[in-house]
Amino acid sequence: MKKYLFLALALIVVVSVFYLNQASAQTTPTLTLGTASGTAGSVVTVPITMAGNSTITGANFDVVYDPAKLTLGTTAIAKSAALTNAGFSLMSSKPSSGILRVVIINMETPTVIPNGVIANISFTINSSAVSGSTPVTFTAVAASDASANSVTLSPANGSVTITASQATYNMTNFTKLVADWGKPGDAVSNVNSDAIVDTRDLGIMMSYWSTT
């Protein structure tokens, strides 16, 4: 009898630990920086998303980026409609180059920060930026509940992918294409860089024709 009682108690402990671990994993809120992509000179938006939150009423964090590749927009960060509707204020500053500091708080009532997209950061990709991915990361993440107790908020970093600009073509290319038809041509006429100027080059020109 004692043996079965011991086994039953052991089973209860194992199951309790399992469910406690599951609950802990499920209730740890996350703050995620999204991804964006664009060509040099374009404007991109990186969303900030809250997930799994049921207790956090205030948060502050720094967003770090490479100022050699990205420049914050005139409106560096904007609240989402969900955050606005929940009555939250969003304050931001730029303590140094490459850092955006953000504070999110409801000054009226200690409302829980809603899940979903809570803000959007606007970046202009610098004209000198080369193709590739540049990280956008969180540091100094802190959060609290309605009683001002510290709450764990797990950060997930994002990135901006800089893509190469698509070349465009005009009458100069077309005139040279006609002159070089059936020949090796050059960079102006042989736009796909193969051994001959032909219909494939013409097709590319027509697909990316520019009047400028």
In a domain, 24, yes or no: no
**Where do the DSSP E strands lie in the chain?**
30-33, 35-39, 43-51, 58-64, 70-79, 89-96, 99-105, 116-125, 132-144, 154-156, 158-163
Q: In this structure, are 140 and 68 located in the same domain?
A: yes
Same domain, 112 and 128: yes
10 within some domain: no
Please give the pLDDT value at position 212.
66
Q: Are residues 182 and 90 in the same domain?
A: no
Q: How many domains does the chain have?
A: 2
Host domain of residue 68: 29-163
| Tens digit of each residue's pLDDT, the chain (212 residues) | 544 444 444 445 444 444 445 544 457 899 999 999 999 999 999 999 999 999 999 999 999 999 999 999 889 999 999 999 999 999 999 999 999 999 999 988 889 999 999 999 999 999 889 899 999 999 999 999 999 999 999 999 999 999 977 788 999 999 999 999 999 989 999 988 888 999 999 998 898 888 76
Q: Does 21 reside within a domain?
A: no
Q: Decide if 41 is inside a domain.
A: yes
Q: Assess whether 97 and 186 both reside in one domain.
A: no
Whether residue 23 lies inside any domain: the answer is no
175 and 159 belong to one structural domain: no
Same domain, 57 and 135: yes
Element (H, E) at 106: none
Specify the residue for token string 């991915």.
Answer: 133
**Do the domain assignments include residue 14?**
no
Please give the distance of CA 67 from its chain centroid, rounded to a whole number: 16
pTM more than 0.75: no
Strand bridging mode 30-33 / 58-64: unpaired
Judge if 68 and 150 occupy the same domain.
yes
Q: With contact defined as beta carbons under 8 Å apart, do 134 and 80 qualify?
A: no
Instruction: List CB contacts of 142: < 8 A, sequence separation 6 or more.
Output: 59, 60, 61, 150, 153
Please tell me whether residues 145 and 124 are part of one structural domain: yes
115 and 200 assigned to the same domain:
no
Q: Which two tokens stand for residue 160?
A: 């901006």
Q: Are 170 and 210 in contact (CB under 8 A)?
A: yes
Cβ-contact 182, 190 below 8 angstroms:
no
Domain match, 35 and 96 both: yes
Task: Identify the CATH number of the domain in which residue 88 sits.
Answer: 2.60.40.680
The tally of CA atoms less than 13 A away on the side-chain side of residue 61 is: 27
Residue 68 lies in a domain: yes
pLDDT of residue 24: 45
**Residue 22 placed within a domain:** no
Clarify whether residues 68 and 107 are in a common domain. yes
* 112 and 183 together in one domain: no
